[in-house]
Amino acid sequence: MTTPITSSTAATPRAPSNTSSNAARNAAAAPVPVRASARLLAALIAGALFGFGLSLSTMIRPSIVLGFLRFQDMGLMLVLGGAVVVTFIGYRFSPKLLTRPLFGGSFGQHESILDRATIIGAAIFGIGWGITGVCPGPAIAGLGAGSYELLYAVAGIALGALTQGLTARRS
Amino acid sequence: MLPFPFGWPHYLLGGLCIGAGVALLYALTGLVGGMSSVYSSTWSFVVTRPFFQQTKLVDSRSWRLTYAAGLIVGAAAWWMLFGHGARVTVAIPTWQLFVGGLLVGYGARLSRGCTSGHGICGLASLRLPSLLAVVTFMAMAMLTANVTARLGWG
C-alpha cells in the first residue's frame, strides 16, 4: 500500500523497537546479509564451545569456584591458564595466517584502558565474585545445565550493569 | 604440589575448550569475546539513555546475545552427554546470588571486563591493564570468600 520510495535520502529516525517494518529491515541490513548471519552462527558455535568448557571444568558450580577462592582447590588456575594459552595462540596467529577473519570484518583488539575505574571496578567485581562464586559467563552457562537458581545472579549482574551505565559520567 | 581434590584433567580440558571458543570467534569474525559486555549491550534494546545507545553497544548487541545463547547451548550439550540425568544444583542462598551479582555486574562493567574479558582476552593480548585488573579482582575475591567462610556463608 505505502510506497517506501522517497526523494529525500535523509535517514529515517530510529524507529521504536518492535516495528519490524521493511524500512527498518532495509536500514538495518548490512551490505552482505549472508555474511552477517554467518558471523552470528560463528558467535553461537564459539559460545557453545565456551559454555561446554565452563561446564566440563565445573566452573558453572559456584561451590567449586568458592573452593578455589578459599585455597581448597587450585583447579581454576588450570582452567584460566589453559584458556589463556589457547586464546593467546589464536590471537597471535590468526592475523598472520589470515588476511582477514574467515567470515569477514577485521581483526579487533582487546579494549585496553588503565584508569581508576579499571581498578576500582575490578575490586568491586572481586567482592561480588567472592560473595557468590559466580561471574558473568558461568551465570549464563549454568542455566543450560539446569541451574535455574543462577537466574538470581543473572538478574543481579544485569541490574548492576544497568546501574553502572545509568551512573556513568561520560559514555 | 598444588591440591586438586577433584582431579585435574577436567580443569585443563575445560580451559582448553574455553580458549578454543574465544580463539575460534576471533579467527572467524575478528571479535574479542569477553562475557560481561552482554549485560550492558542487551540493555540497549530497551534503554534509550545515551550511554546505552553508544555505537559500541548497539553494534555488538546481536552477536553478544547470540554468543551468550551459545553458552547455554554448550552447557546443555555437556549436560546431555555427561550430566547423568540430574540437573546441576546451586546451594548458594538466593540473596547471596543476587547481591553478589549486583556487585559483579556493576564492577565488571566499570572495569570494562570480567574473568573472561580481562582474565582470558586481556591476558592473552598481553595487556597490562587487564593483568592489574585480574590481580585486583583475584585478591579481593579471595579476601571476601575467606571472610564469608569465617562468617559461615555458603
Distance from CA of B58 to the nearest CA of A (A): 11
Q: Do B31 and A105 count as a contact with CB atoms less than 8 A apart?
A: yes
Asked if A130 has any chain B CB less than 8 Å from its own CB, the reply is yes
Asked if A13 has any chain B CB less than 8 Å from its own CB, the reply is no
pLDDT of residue A170: 60
Tens-digit pLDDT profile for residues B1-54: 568 999 999 999 999 999 999 999 999 999 999 999 999 999 999 999 999 999
pLDDT of residue B29: 96
Q: In this predicted complex, what is the ipTM?
A: 0.96
Tens-digit pLDDT profile for residues A97-112: 999 999 988 999 988 8
Q: Do A134 and B100 count as a contact with CB atoms less than 8 A apart?
A: yes
Contact (CB, 8 A) for B37 and B117: yes
Q: Rounded CA gap, A2 and A38, in Å?
A: 32
Given a cut of 50, is residue B66 above it in pLDDT?
Answer: yes
Which one of B1, B4, B8, B11 makes the best mutation probe of the A interface by having the most chain A beta carbons within 10 Å? B11
Q: Rounded CA gap, B66 and A6, in Å?
A: 35
Q: Give the nearest partner residue to A113 out of B101, B129, B143, using CB atoms.
A: B129
Contact (CB, 8 A) for B43 and A165: yes
pLDDT of residue A168: 92
Q: What is the mean pLDDT of residues A34-49?
A: 92
3-class SS letters over A30-53: CCCHHHHHHHHHHHHHHHHHHHHH
Angle between helices B128-150 and B94-111 (to 10 degrees): 160
φ/ψ region of A18 (left if φ > 0, alpha if ψ in -120 to 50, else beta) reads left
Tens-digit pLDDT profile for residues B73-91: 999 999 999 988 899 999 9
Q: Do A112 and B72 count as a contact with CB atoms less than 8 A apart?
A: no
Given a cut of 60, is residue B135 above it in pLDDT?
Answer: yes
pLDDT of residue A65: 97
Contact (CB, 8 A) for A85 and B13: no
Q: Rounded CA gap, B108 and B39, in Å?
A: 10
Tens-digit pLDDT profile for residues A127-137: 999 999 999 99
Given a cut of 60, is residue A16 above it in pLDDT?
Answer: no
Q: Write down the pTM of the prediction.
A: 0.88
Q: Do B3 and A165 count as a contact with CB atoms less than 8 A apart?
A: no
Which residues in chain B are closer than 8 Å to A140, comparing Cβ atoms?
A: 35, 38, 68, 71-72
**Which residues are CB-contacts of B36 (< 8 A; sequence separation ≥ 6)?**
A136, A157, A161, B105, B108, B109, B113, B114, B116, B117
Asked if A5 has any chain B CB less than 8 Å from its own CB, the reply is no
Neighbours of B75 (CB within 10 A): 31
Asked if A32 has any chain B CB less than 8 Å from its own CB, the reply is no
Q: Give the nearest partner residue to A17 out of B29, B45, B98, using CB atoms.
A: B45
